[in-house]
Amino acid sequence: MKNVYYFYETIFGRIMIGSDGKAVTFIKTVWNEEPIGEMVADALTDTAAQQLEEYFAGKRSRFDVSLHPHGTVFQKSVWKALCDIPYGETRSYKQIAQAVGNPDACRAVGMANNKNPIWIMIPCHRVIGSSGKLIGYGGGLEMKQRLLDIEKIK
């Protein structure tokens, strides 16, 4: 299958969604990036974009497109643990480190969150500091708070 990507406009600005024809491989915000090569949407990128719009509108709490993030074994274990955080709930970096069987790996969990290639669908925005404060989000803490507000997390 051919890898494809397409730009979509959302309430959070322009995003790029990529697919390998079997699963979504990345979702990222793009600020001033111009397409490289041919942009092509497929059923997966279109479905992911539609599901994100429903999520942003508060009409979707689960995503059901196939995801295939590329990363290390540790990163993938963290991303799986993130997907296990229920909608409307948060976990601390320490709780995620414990969930992946490495309770001393809080910083490594933070780095895995930072490398999360599938924004929102792998919900790294649901990970907060042990104190309950918002810390560490690639899109900025304001965006993290907006995403948590969608889920009504205080």
Cβ pair 117, 28 in contact under 8 A: yes
pLDDT confidence of residue 86: 97
Active site residues: 124
Across the chain, how many H-helices and E-strands are there? Answer: 5, 5
Low-confidence ranges of the chain (pLDDT < 70): 1, 32-38, 153-154
User: Could you say which DSSP state residue 154 is in?
Assistant: -
Q: Are 151 and 62 in contact (CB under 8 A)?
A: no
* pTM across the whole model: 0.91
Second-level CATH architecture of 73-150: Orthogonal Bundle (1.10)
- What confidence score (pLDDT) does residue 43 get? 93
Beta-bridged to residue 119, according to DSSP, are 122
Rounded to an integer, what distance in angstroms lies between the CA atom of residue 147 and that of residue 82?
15
Nearest Cα residue to 121 out of 23, 31, 21, 11: 23
Q: Are 126 and 144 in contact (CB under 8 A)?
A: no
| pLDDT for 34 | 65
Amino acid at 17: I
| pLDDT, position 115 | 95
Domain boundaries of the chain, sorted by first residue? 4-56, 73-150
The label of the residue with tokens 């969608």 reads 150
Q: pLDDT by residue (tens digit) across 38-65?
A: 688 899 999 999 999 999 999 999 999 9
How high is the pLDDT of residue 36?
A: 63
